[in-house]
Structures are given as C-alpha cells and as structure tokens.
Structure 1
Amino acid sequence: MVVIRLARKGAKKRPFFNIVVADQRYKPEGRYIERLGFYNPVARGKEELIRLERERVQHWIAQGAQMSARVANIVKQWDEKNAAA
C-alpha cells in the first residue's frame, strides 16, 4: 500500500521532517516515491513551518494513498493557515 508519511531528517534535538509518498514496506527514513513538502516543528521567527504541494497530495489520495494520522493533522493545519490568508 502507498502511504503519505513523515521522513525524519535534521540533527539531534533539531528535527525536520519531509512529507513523502512511499510504499508501506520501505523504512520510514528510507526510499520514497515523491517528496510533497516539509514540516519544521521547531521553526522560529520567519522560518517556514510547513510547505506542501496540495495538488500532489490530492493526486496521491485519488490514486489510493493513505495519509498517516500526523500528516493528516499537518495538512489540516496547512489548509486552515492558507484559508485565512
């Protein structure tokens, strides 16, 4: 099954996550099919918290990909931020 999930990057105590489309059998930090954006939970000041290619997320969901619970929350947060803008 194809899933949309987070792949952890960054340094120790300074996490950074890529939002990726991957086969469920791949390791979370391993191979992926496509990178859809990123999530920076420790963003400060003018740093960007979330960047997401929403059209590609919709494309993969239409193809049958399942979002992880955390990614679903991030997408919801991104939608609320962009609806207000």
Structure 2
Amino acid sequence: MAVRIRLTRLGRKKKPFYRIVVADSECPRDGKFLDIVGTYDPVQNPAAITINNDKLQNWLGKGALPTTTVASLIKKAVVAE
C-alpha cells in the first residue's frame, strides 16, 4: 500500500476548495482517505494554504510521499510563515 499526500476537491462549480489529505495511492481522488493534513483555497487572493505541521511531519516520517502539487504548496506555506 503506497500512501500519498494529495489534494481532494470540494466546493462547487467554478469555486474550488481543496483538502490536503493522506490517502492510499489506489483510491479515487475524492474517495476514502486516512487523515486530513490541511486545506488549500485558490479562490482567495492570495491563495490560502493551511497545513498542520505536526500531522504532516508524522506522515512524512511514516513514508508518505507528497504529489508534485502538494510539494509546491508545502514550500509556499513554509515561505509564508
């Protein structure tokens, strides 16, 4: 079971809102997940990124790999702090 840290889409049409979740790589995008690590709201100006660093470090320590998009969001969130 490969665990990935990725985005799941919420919100309505033309108003996306994303959760940063930890999920099995074989599950569908909006399917079952293991844990919620943060949120990403691209509609706000500038885009709002909130990440729970304790949960994130815990899952990274267990071997979960972030997708390229989530990796860039993590970098932006660290720079913003």
TM-score band, normalised by shorter chain = over 0.9
**What's the counterpart of residue 73 of structure 1?**
72
Identity, in percent, stands at 35
Quick check: which has more Rg, 1 or 2? 1
Taking the aligned partners of 2:39 and 2:24, their CA distance within structure 1 comes to: 18
- Correspondence for 2:35: 34
- State the match for 1:50 in structure 2: 49
More strand by share: 2
Aligned-residue Cα RMSD (Å) equals 1.3
Superposition deviation, residue 50 in structure 1: 1.0
Instruction: State TM-score, norm by structure 2.
Output: 0.93
Task: State the partner residue of 1:63.
Answer: 62
Deviation (angstroms), 1:44: 4.0
- Runs of 4+ in structure 1 displaced over 4 angstroms? none
Residue-by-residue CA offset, 1:17-75 (whole Å, 9 max, x unaligned):
00000001110101100001100001148xx7011101111111110000000000000
Structure 2 portions without partners, runs of 5+:
none
